[in-house]
Each structure stands twice: as C-alpha cells, then as structure tokens.
C-alpha cells in the first residue's frame, strides 16, 4: 500500500490540453486566484510540477497559477525520446506561454522555473524571446564554456548524473517503492517530510496491462540533459536582462553542493542578474525550504512593483 504523502493537491480550476508542432502533448492546469497576476511554473529534470506543491501552495491565494510539465514528463503522455532537448524545451516554453494567454487572457505573467526548465527559459531569452514580465529561476545548472578552469570538472559531474540516470529503475510495484528510493538517496535527504511520496506519485504512471507503475520520463530519456547543458551558449550570451530577473540559488557553501550551484553567483555577477541564495539548501531548495523560497519570490515582485 502506498503511504500517504501528507500533501493533498487541490483540484485544478481548469485544464488546457496542448499539442506542440511535432505532436507532443502538454497539459496545463490552472490553480489559484484567476484575478491575480499569472505565474507559469514548471520543474526540474526527473520531476513534475506537482512535485513542487510545498512551494506553490503559497501562491494559491494571490496568484493565477498555471502549471505545466515538459514533454514526456508528469501529466503528459510519453511522446518520443527525440527530440528531448533544451532547444526543444525552449520552443515548447514559448508555445505554452502563447496558448495560456490565448485561452485564459493576456495579463502580467511571471515565469518560475527550476533547474532544467530554468535553463530552457534562459535559452529562450538569449534566442530573443522575452515573453515574461519577470523571471524567477531556481538554481539553474549554468555551465561556463570550454576554456574556463571549471568547465571540465562540471562536465565530469554531469556525466556521473547522466550515467546514473541511464541505469535507473524504470518500473515499480507501487509509488511507495519509489518514495523509499528517494528517502534513501543522500541528495534528497533535506526534502520536507512527505515530498518523497508526493514526487513518486507525480512522476509515475500506472500501466494497467502490466499492473505496474513506470516512470513518466524514463531514465535514459532524461540522462542526456545532464551533459547537454554544457554545449549551450547561455554563459557567454545571457547579457543583462531586459526585464526583471532573479536567480535563487542553493547554498554554494554547503557540503556536497552541486558544482553548478557554486557557479550561479559568478554567472549572475557577470551578466548583471539579481541573485539570492537560501542558506542550508541543496539543488532541491523549493521542497526543502519552500517558505523561504516563496518569500524571496514575493519580495522580488514587490521590489519591482509587480503586484497585479
């Protein structure tokens, strides 16, 4: 039996079923206050937007919240192993933003993205698509270019994550089995109680024909993203943001912090991007210290007069 997660997700106010230009399905779900400013939120590699409920539950009273999972992840039916890439995600990001505005009305819209989806948002910006009124990005794994003294060590760290994803268990008897895996992994040790179960439910789908649960995004499909980020031109081409942008990083001084997390302050200083860190957190900061992450997000919007 699956243990209770401790988090009960609200029923969506509405859903929007989209099809990308290559046929990939993406579903958007709407929560919160339809009269408030809009927040569009998505997830990191191997997760789903529902995994972040400890964080986005604080938005429900004030914000018109639109959640979507990237192709092959979470709520979406699996489409194809290729293309499953940052350039494709950046294009999907633009298409989703446009479709939300067409279906639910144009309004002030803030993009809130973590890790993989944060990289996709940055890539869209440097490719000339600034469709957000503001961006808040959590711990994007920015990578300096070839020639930077830390490029090779960062690539090597990505290869470790890639190789682990390639051999990841894909099928489970019950979401509780995957939740137990999350609870035993050192890198997940700081997650709030109940997040392991929530993430398992959000990233698995039931296969009736076989009577098992399988990962919505199989490990081999997500694997390449850990190293593909090194080839993107974000570090070189980001430039000063045209609109308000905040990068919220994990604690770069924490023992065991991702090497990419330690590069966020350097990246932000180089490109004139606002930066804040949440002490005592790892790469999963939104499900470790959700209240502090929300406070930084909310304070940033107030500082820039983005209130309605």
Strand pairing category for 245-249 and 134-138: parallel
Check whether 4 has a pLDDT greater than 60: no
Tell me if 271 is assigned to some domain. yes
Q: How far is CA 257 from CA 51, 55, 66, 146, 275, in A?
A: 21, 21, 30, 22, 17
Check whether 35 has a pLDDT greater than 60: yes
pLDDT of 253 reads 86
Tell me if 21 is assigned to some domain. yes
Tell me if 121 is assigned to some domain. yes
Strand pairing category for 38-41 and 64-68: parallel
Tell me if 68 is assigned to some domain. yes
d(CA 293, CA 274): 15
d(CA 64, CA 40): 9
pLDDT of 6 reads 67
Q: How far is CA 57 from CA 34, 102, 291, 294, in A?
A: 15, 25, 10, 10
pLDDT of 254 reads 85
Q: What percent of the chain has pLDDT over 90?
A: 88
pLDDT in tens, 99-119: 999 999 999 999 999 999 999
pLDDT of 258 reads 74
Check whether 155 has a pLDDT greater than 60: yes
Confidence of residue 9 (pLDDT cuts 50, 70, 90): very high
Give the CATH number of the domain where residue 134 resides.
3.40.50.1820
Range of the domain at 259: 14-303
Confidence of residue 1 (pLDDT cuts 50, 70, 90): very low
Check whether 230 has a pLDDT greater than 60: yes
Highest mean pLDDT among 83-97, 243-257, 258-272: 83-97
Confidence of residue 3 (pLDDT cuts 50, 70, 90): very low
pLDDT of 186 reads 85
Tell me if 6 is assigned to some domain. no
Average per-residue pLDDT in the chain? 94
Check whether 187 has a pLDDT greater than 60: yes
pLDDT of 295 reads 98
Tell me if 3 is assigned to some domain. no
Q: What percent of the chain has pLDDT over 70?
A: 98
Tell me if 2 is assigned to some domain. no
Task: Provide CB contacts within 8 A for 191, sequence distance 6+.
Answer: 182, 199, 284, 287, 288
Give the residue-averaged pLDDT of 155-184: 95
Check whether 5 has a pLDDT greater than 80: no
Check whether 260 has a pLDDT greater than 90: no
Check whether 2 has a pLDDT greater than 50: no
3-class SS at 70?
Answer: coil
3-class SS at 15?
Answer: strand
Number of domains in the chain: 1
């Amino acid at each position: 039996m699956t243990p209770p997660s401790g988090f009960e997700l609200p029923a969506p106010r509405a859903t929007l079923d989209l099809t990308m230009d290559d046929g990939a399905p993406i579903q958007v779900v709407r929560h919160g206050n339809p009269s408030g400013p809009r927040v569009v939120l998505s997830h990191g590699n191997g997760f789903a937007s529902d995994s972040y409920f400890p964080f986005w539950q604080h938005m429900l009273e004030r914000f018109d919240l639109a959640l979507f999972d990237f192709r092959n992840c979470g709520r979406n039916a699996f489409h194809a192993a290729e293309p499953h890439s940052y350039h494709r995600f950046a294009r999907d990001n633009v298409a989703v933003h446009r479709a939300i505005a067409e279906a639910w009305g144009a309004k002030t819209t803030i993009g809130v993205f973590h890790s993989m989806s944060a990289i996709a948002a940055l890539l869209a910006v440097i490719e000339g698509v600034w469709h957000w009124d503001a961006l808040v990005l959590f711990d994007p794994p920015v990578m300096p270019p070839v020639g930077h003294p830390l490029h090779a060590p960062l690539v090597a760290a990505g290869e470790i994550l890639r190789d682990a994803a390639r051999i990841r268990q894909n099928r489970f008897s019950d979401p509780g089995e995957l939740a137990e895996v999350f609870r035993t992994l050192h890198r997940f040790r700081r997650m709030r109680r109940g997040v392991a179960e929530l993430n398992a439910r959000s990233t698995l789908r039931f296969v009736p024909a076989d009577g098992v649960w399988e990962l919505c995004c199989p490990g081999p499909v997500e694997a390449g993203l850990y190293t593909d980020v090194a080839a993107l031109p974000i570090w070189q081409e980001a430039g000063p943001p045209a609109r308000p942008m905040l990068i919220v990083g994990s604690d770069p001084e924490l023992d065991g912090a991702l090497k990419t997390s330690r590069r966020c302050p350097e990246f932000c200083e180089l490109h004139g991007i606002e930066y804040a860190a949440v002490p005592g957190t790892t790469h999963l900061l939104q499900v470790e210290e959700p209240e502090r992450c929300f406070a930084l997000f909310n304070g940033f919007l107030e500082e820039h007069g983005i209130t309605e």
